[in-house]
A and B are shown apart, each in its own frame.
Chain A
């Protein structure tokens, strides 16, 4: 579990683990799995809210629950930077982790694959594989996106790659 900061780790352990091992093509089993995913997400969200650490909104974009969309944000220097978030549940799910995409930041940072898919740390993959099928979407967000945002956004902001919407607005106005 090394490689993550202590608060991340403590948070991770509080997210309920999943039990059902099913992918999107497994029918009822997937439904079951989806229910567990929701429960975990709800718990995580509540946890974040209670800690005044709410940082994303997601919802299923299709009824099968294989594609998800939403927003995520990060506060840096008292300014809130908000990005679109989307991802698909891969067929090999849960063995394979979902690939989180931030399409707005595509091409702006090196820590990103084509299409805005974020690069995760070397520790993520083995940890996920080890905890398959117990880790779900909530875990992926917690372990993947949150540290990535915390690491990349200040750099991106400082390097001027991204600008606050007020600034862009004001600059576009001017």
Chain B
């Protein structure tokens, strides 16, 4: 047993004897604490730590929180809960208590922040501010992870103390910076001379700053500029007026504006609102009224009383001279017609004149004195008379409005001289055309229109249309008048109203012709009427230089409108007078016609009957008999029928003219009308509608070979035009035949020419034997004689045939005669004639004796 072992033994013994340390389990401790609570030895709340292994008193917690805050200055509650090891709920509760107790602390968004922390922050900010001269609050807020409003509220009380700078619109600035920017603002706003929207200015300044600061430059808010600007304005460093916070009107500008308005107004004694608007005055009327209370505001100009006086004087002058004036010519060029009319109405003299009905305003700005109007009306009336007489141009113009309009327009827009020329020539042409025969009128018109190419076509056109219209008019009126009288009255009146009233265009044209000063000066040369005009025309001409063609229209149209009713009235009266006059003529004409027609138509029928003789043996006769018959027909048509047709057509034409109010100068010599086929056709064509067709049919029938066709055609036209054709009855025929026979007998007894005796004798024989009146041409005589053969005794027939043969030979000789002296034919003719003359007595005796028996 060595010592070491013994020692160890002792040690082990000792170790085993040693008192073991006493330990309490957690559970025991918890139980103990609970026990203590129960026993009220601990009479305050105990808090657990998050781990649940510790108890902590609220005071301890508070203390720990305080130390933590003091250490850091700014502590998040969540972090605090972590570090203290107590549940967040208790930490929050405690923190609220602490913050409410300690004034230097604040609880913001779950963070406890002490004033000292803010001081530090402010110092930091100041350092940075001195370095950068400006900092955006938003930037700071983002850096510190707090709201910018908070930052602003924190920094505001420290501005000037801890933070040496200025807070403006969310930006911090150093005084130096502020000074620089305000210098910029001052410079810029002093540099402005026209009204400007300040935001524009600020944006340009911003750009400037950006460029100066380079990329790190912070965007300066415009409100900063604005506040600086307001400050400067208040201090009087810049002059001007600010409207709505952004519209800056510098004093310089206002002064310049006022001066320019003043100078313009005083120089011109008017000023248009447009000028003011250009100068930047938004409400020119109010502005001007307040500045010049004596002035007058018109539609778009503002005028000084002196201008009114001037106009007044001019109008007074014009009215006194009983002429007219266009206000626009007196007023400055920029005045519109509206303004002019308003201004006119302001003139005292005009007011007076209008009130006393001595003047009229047309086309807004043209003042016409009554005297002038009367003058023009008088001349127009005169013109109208010719118009009425001619009766054509009115019809043309009113009926063919569209044509004329075209013509008028084109002429208006051609050169003024052309216009005038055209107008004058047009007038001339119409007058000429109306006076001369219709067939020639187109020719005259064409001749007149040769002058100008531009006018030419249109002129022709007008002439043509006129012609067409006239023809139409002729027939239609004739037709109407020939129909029943009741219908006539009804239908004529509207026609008149519609057609024959002078149109506005026509009146305008007339006026422009009559009063040439409305036109430009180019028309001087062509105007006959020029001589009528007084000295005022010079003025007018100068006016019309100013007044454009469009203006011309505006003057003349209302004038024409004014005058037209009167003219129309005049025209109507005139027409009425003409009508009553013409009605009588028409009546007599128709009576005449009827009479003539009756007579000749009866004769015609008589002659036609005679033709029946030849009809009878048409079938049995030889072919050449047919030819003879045709000859007879044609002869009848050529002579009697043609005469009838001519009288009829001529009279119808005359009637038509009268109907239209045309004065027909002669109607008495109408008996001796003889028309060529061509004339017949043209007149027939000029009749309206069906009448024209019928007339044409008559004319055609004249050219035909059958009398019957002519008769039917003639009957048709007579019926159409209201004429009565009397039928031939027995009694009438007898009397007619008797008179014819008497006539023929006397002719035969008086006849000395052997050649012309024969047909008469033959006709007389026909009357005696057949009681038919024969009209036969020379060529048909032999046939007629042969037809008499079986009616006459042989001796008589012999005489007749001999005489006929002798006559034929004589005629053959005469036709063969060359007129040569040495020729023996003349001798033979002479001998033949003698022979015939010998036989004449026998022939005469033949007829006369039988007639007497």
Contact = CB atoms under 8 A, between A and B. Distances in A.
Interface stretch (B15-23, B111-119, B643-651, B767-775): B15-23
Interface in B291-321: none
B5 A42 contact: no
B547 to A, nearest CB: 124
Interface in A29-78: 31, 34-35, 38-39, 41-42, 45-46, 48-54, 57-60, 63
Given A31-B2, A35-B5, A38-B5, A59 B13 contact: yes
Contacts of B19: 49
A31 B1 CA distance: 8
A34 to B, nearest CB: 6
Nearest to B4: A35
Contacts of B9: 38, 59-60
Contacts of A45: 12, 15-16
Interface in B1-37: 1-2, 4-5, 8-9, 11-13, 15-16, 18-23
Contacts of A53: 20
Contact of B23 (A38, A39, A51, A57): A51
Given A35-B4, A35-B5, A63-B1, A42 B20 contact: no
A51 B348 CA distance: 132
A65 B4 CA distance: 14
Nearest to A64: B1
B3 to A, nearest CB: 11
A51 B23 CA distance: 7
Contact of A52 (B2, B16, B18, B21): B21
A50 B8 contact: no
Given A51-B23, A52-B22, A63-B1, A39 B8 contact: yes
B11 to A, nearest CB: 6
Which of B2, B16, B19, B23 has the largest count of A CB atoms less than 10 A from its CB? B16
A57 B8 contact: no
A48 B8 CA distance: 18
B18 A49 contact: yes
B12 A34 contact: no
Q: Which residue, A38, A49, A58, has most C-beta atoms of chain B within 10 A? A: A38
A38 B11 contact: yes
A41 to B, nearest CB: 5
B8 A38 contact: yes
B824 to A, nearest CB: 192
A57 B20 CA distance: 13
B5 A52 contact: no
Contacts of B5: 31, 34-35, 38
Contact of B15 (A34, A49, A51, A60): A49
A50 B12 contact: no
A53 to B, nearest CB: 8
A51 B22 CA distance: 8
A42 B4 CA distance: 14
B23 A52 contact: yes
Nearest to B8: A38
A48 B1 CA distance: 28
Contact of B12 (A41, A48, A63): A41
A149 to B, nearest CB: 17
B12 A42 contact: yes
Contacts of A46: 15, 18
B755 to A, nearest CB: 183
A54 B19 CA distance: 9
A85 B11 CA distance: 20
Nearest to A54: B20
A31 B4 CA distance: 10
Contacts of B18: 46, 49
A58 B13 CA distance: 9
Contacts of B1: 63
Contacts of B12: 38, 41-42, 45, 59
A51 B8 CA distance: 22
Contacts of A41: 12
Nearest to B23: A52
Interface in A143-159: none
A58 B23 CA distance: 23
Contacts of A50: 20-21
A42 B8 contact: yes
A42 B11 contact: yes
A38 B14 CA distance: 12
Contacts of B20: 48-50, 52-54
Nearest to B11: A42
Contacts of B21: 49-50, 52
B2 A57 contact: no
A42 B15 contact: yes
A35 B12 CA distance: 11
Contacts of A57: 16
Nearest to B13: A59
Nearest to A65: B5
A54 B20 CA distance: 7
A50 B15 CA distance: 11
A131 to B, nearest CB: 22
Contacts of B4: 35
Contacts of B15: 42, 45-46, 49
A108 B335 CA distance: 141
A53 B25 CA distance: 12
A34 B11 CA distance: 14
Interface in A94-120: none
A54 B5 CA distance: 23
Contacts of A54: 20
A136 to B, nearest CB: 13
Interface in B776-818: none
A48 B12 CA distance: 13
Interface of A: 31, 34-35, 38-39, 41-42, 45-46, 48-54, 57-60, 63
Given A38-B11, A50-B20, 12 more contacts: A31-B2, A35-B4, A38-B5, A38-B9, A39-B8, A42-B8, A42-B12, A48-B20, A49-B20, A49-B21, A52-B23, A54-B20
6 contacts: A46-B15, A49-B19, A49-B20, A50-B20, A53-B20, A59-B13
4 shortest A-B CB distances, which residue pairs?
Answer: A38-B8, A49-B20, A52-B23, A54-B20
